[in-house]
Structure 1
Amino acid sequence: MSPRRIVVVGAGMAAARFAQQLSAATPDGEADIVLYGREPHAPYNRTRLTDVLAGRYRDTALTLATGGSTIRTGTDVVAVDPAARTLRTASGETVRYDELVLATGAAPLRARTRRAYVLRGLDDCRRLAAALPGARRALVVGGGVLGVSTAVALAARGPEVHLVHRGPYLMERHLDPGAATAVRRALEALGVTVHFGPDRPPPDPGLTVAARGVRPRTRLARAAGLAVRTGVLVDDTLATSAPGIHAIGDCAEHLGTVHGTAEAAWEQADVLAARLSGARPDACYTGSPRLLRLTAGPLEIAAFGDPAEHAAADDTVRLTDATRGTYKALALRGARLAAAVLVGDTAAAGDLCHACREHERSTGPAPDPVHLLTTRGATP
């Protein structure tokens, strides 16, 4: 029998993880795994791009392993025929598949000015880095995770940096107001000026970077007739509405949520690889906890759970140290930990993450919250 042909549209972090796990779990000769990537690069770690921009990391060290897969870089897939189980590339090639995995990722939301840079891919990073030597001032539009980490990276390269955010406070999807204040102070200490709402940055920003978020890439799925809302709809098996087609990563929407994190993408990739390899045919994806781990130069942040819990919780515990620039907070539901955030000192992040994960499946008491907040060198 000929090997099953498993084709992945996309060659990003989710695709690389899936290919690696599937190759490891599938006996030799039983599967032909092919990745089609729009970018001309082998799969790489997108989460380290701001480190490359800051000069702390070399882009040549970002490559991700993909097992024994074949990678077709610089190849755009333009159409999928679910009935025939084929896809067509921009060059006109028709490719048959037995199983198709959509890992098309997400596209950055652009700023109003066409001259704005984005930082979503390796080529974006190289273009932005090449423009920096002549820039006296830089403007970052968006105060989410990418905006904050980009501002820190730019500040490390020398220009005067301004960060503009329309939200009520920085990184509101992950932080409570107290943590956001600590992040703002840390940015200001690094030389970044933060502007909110109607505040206007100085004229002539020089160099503008749009970090306003991303939108799942769903054009291919829509054109193929798959069910799409914000992302491509998948069930607990990561199957789409079409037989033989699956979706993972930033393009996938599960139970109304597009997670948009590397951790969630890898969990989805692991589940799908276990199912398609037969290693765990009953494996299911039940969702991923909301979590953030960010190290942007000297700025360290860890957050777990819904930040709204900090206002609605039965009890909260907060420890702040203005001298050291640290902020730590726990939100408790009864005796259970519902959310946590750490800024400046993330040594307890491992224990807190574990406690947050246990929140949904345990009714036992959480460890003493003050002990968790003051733990150093916690295990991952």
Structure 2
Amino acid sequence: MTRIVVVGNGMAGARLVSEIRARDRHVGLTVFGAEHGQPYNRVLLSNVVAGTMPPDQVRLLDPAWYADHSVTAVPGVEVVAVDRESQFVITATGRREPYDVLVLATGSEAVVPPIPGAERAVTFRTMDDCHAILRAAGSARRAVVVGGGLLGIEAARGLAGRGLPVTLLHLAGHLMDRQLDAEAGLVLGQTLGGLGVDIRTGVVIEEITDGGVRLTGDETVEADLVVLACGIRPVTALARDAGLEVARGIVVDDEMRTDDPSIFAIGECAEHRGRVYGLVAPAWEQAAVVADLVTGTDKTARYRGSRLVTRLKAKSVELAAMGETHLTEDDAEVVRFSHRATGTYRKLVIRDGRLVGVILLGETSTVGNLTQLFDRGGPLPGDRAGLLFPGLSGGTVAESPVRMPDAARVCQCNNVTKGQIRACWESGARDVAAVAAATRATTGCGGCHDAVEGIVDWLCEQEGVSA
């Protein structure tokens, strides 16, 4: 019997284990997780900070699942070495676990910048971090979040939602500078300001003190809770120490295989074609490929890379961005609409008649249709404005379920189309929970929940049945 060992029981590792068991009930399967407890959906941790979702609701797999599916799960035990010659992994407790196939899903870790006093702050990356933030927030009078990327914004919005005054500090000139252009960053900042988050961009931090954060110019932003959300880096030490090829991440080919044919790597620790992905959808796509290969279900399975849609998970803030969003009229055809008073910004970037970049801020109902055009790279209709405002013209892109093609991807994280949701409905799934159980739609970032619910409700209305 083939012995498969998975190192890492986060979103990538847990998904891989479930994908393998969906294909093969008998292969030997052991998974080690450095964190205590069961795997959880890291994407939804901002909801835990905000208090809109209890920790147990973000759990991915419960203990009974492992027993029911003959999976040996070893939580809270770190793997510290790989003996490639004898094909064993070695844990911090001295356990030696043999493998025929090893999959590294070690994920990433929070970046802590070299700021004096950084040890006084809390990072925002894990469930333990969430618990630490919540404990501190209970008695804090003011909070500072350092970092204006996805995680920083989500942490700041979550704390503000608890009624805590929050200041968000960001080194760059505008928020989410990797995904957004300057105007979108400005509109986003104004939206967050209206939700209780004070935005400070273009600032340099000199020190974190007991009284707050000291900036260049000797200004201090007062706070008794400082949260660091300064990015992530792949966890690669285990692979590097084992002699595997490591660049920014663990280097893999289209099979997600390292330079050791017995060892694969997936998720945020893996580097594929020079790229490391920090989002969940690519990790889950990679997990499906590896599951096909190691079980022999599809020996031709290959990972070709992912076209990403970045979604912000912050209450009362809708944002989606994809592709080459920073291009200007000098480089491409750009269609944009900005209305700062309503927190609305929409931008399409078109090159050679193809959609290569999108920003939607403030209202994102068209994201499914635009994502389909972005993914397929097909020709666009001549009415560009109709792409941004399909309800105001005779545009060919539809917002409503009745006109949405079955091939339209509704859930980006799990690659679920409208046609798959329809098929589930026809098989008896009459609500979002049933569709989620069958397809996993809504179980990633949760951003597609309203769209899935709308499709289910529409199908019920068409057939005159109760949802």
Q: Secondary structure at the match of 2:9?
A: coil
Contact in 1 for aligned 2:234/2:248 (Cα 8 Å):
yes
Can you list the C-alpha shifts for 1:40-97, whole angstroms capped at 9, x where unaligned?
Answer: 1111100000101100111101111377232110011000011211110111011100
| Aligned: 1:55 with 2:51 | yes
TM-score normalized by the length of structure 2: 0.77
Match of 1:269 in 2: 287
**Matches of 2:331 and 2:22, distance apart in 1:** 43
Output the amino acid matched with 1:294. Answer: L
Match of 1:16 in 2: 14
Q: 2:384 aligns with which of 364, 369, 374?
A: 369
| Aligned: 1:229 with 2:247 | yes
| Aligned: 1:337 with 2:352 | no
Deviation at 1:242, TM superposition (A): 1.2
Match of 1:107 in 2: 109
**Matches of 1:308 and 1:268, distance apart in 2:** 28
Contact in 2 for aligned 1:21/1:270 (Cα 8 Å):
yes
Output the amino acid matched with 1:266. Answer: W
Deviation at 1:307, TM superposition (A): 2.1
**Matches of 2:72 and 2:381, distance apart in 1:** 47
Can you list the C-alpha shifts for 1:157-201, whole angstroms capped at 9, x where unaligned?
Answer: 122111111113111111122211111011111111111223647
Flag the 1:211–1:366 CA change in 2: closer, same or farther, 3 A.
farther
**Matches of 2:308 and 2:329, distance apart in 1:** 17
Q: 2:30 aligns with which of 26, 29, 34?
A: 34
Q: Bigger radius of gyration, 1 or 2?
A: 2
**Matches of 2:7 and 2:325, distance apart in 1:** 34
| Aligned: 1:258 with 2:260 | no
**Matches of 2:337 and 2:282, distance apart in 1:** 29
Q: Which moved more, 1:199-208 or 1:135-144?
A: 199-208
Identical counterparts, % of pairs: 39
Match of 1:176 in 2: 181
Q: Secondary structure at the match of 1:114?
A: helix
Contact in 1 for aligned 2:174/2:202 (Cα 8 Å):
no
Contact in 1 for aligned 2:87/2:100 (Cα 8 Å):
yes
Contact in 1 for aligned 2:31/2:73 (Cα 8 Å):
yes
Q: What RMSD over aligned residues (CA atoms) do the two structures have, in Å?
A: 1.7
Structure 2 regions of 5+ residues with no counterpart? Answer: 205-214, 391-398, 411-467
Contact in 1 for aligned 2:244/2:259 (Cα 8 Å):
yes
Aligned residues: 373
Please give the residue correspondences for 1:218-367 in structure 2 after superposition, counting only pairs within 5 Å.
218-310=236-328, 313-359=331-377, 362=378, 364-365=379-380
Match of 2:455 in 1: none
Q: Secondary structure at the match of 2:312?
A: strand
**Matches of 2:199 and 2:108, distance apart in 1:** 27
Match of 1:77 in 2: 79
Output the amino acid matched with 2:373. Answer: A
Output the amino acid matched with 1:64. Answer: L
Output the amino acid matched with 1:160. Answer: P
Q: Secondary structure at the match of 1:309?
A: coil
Contact in 2 for aligned 1:106/1:214 (Cα 8 Å):
yes
Deviation at 1:141, TM superposition (A): 0.6
Deviation at 1:279, TM superposition (A): 1.7
Can you list the C-alpha shifts for 1:124-157, whole angstroms capped at 9, x where unaligned?
Answer: 1011101102111111111101011111011111
Q: Secondary structure at the match of 1:347?
A: coil
Contact in 2 for aligned 1:42/1:71 (Cα 8 Å):
no
Please give the residue correspondences for 1:173-212 in structure 2 after superposition, counting only pairs within 5 Å.
173-198=178-203, 200=215, 202-212=220-230
Contact in 1 for aligned 2:169/2:203 (Cα 8 Å):
no
**Matches of 1:324 and 1:195, distance apart in 2:** 21
**Matches of 1:312 and 1:44, distance apart in 2:** 44
Larger RCO (CA under 8 A, 6+ residues apart)? 1
Output the amino acid matched with 1:159. Answer: L
Q: 1:153 aligns with which of 158, 161, 179?
A: 158
Q: 1:143 aligns with which of 141, 144, 148?
A: 148
Deviation at 1:334, TM superposition (A): 2.0
Deviation at 1:310, TM superposition (A): 4.5
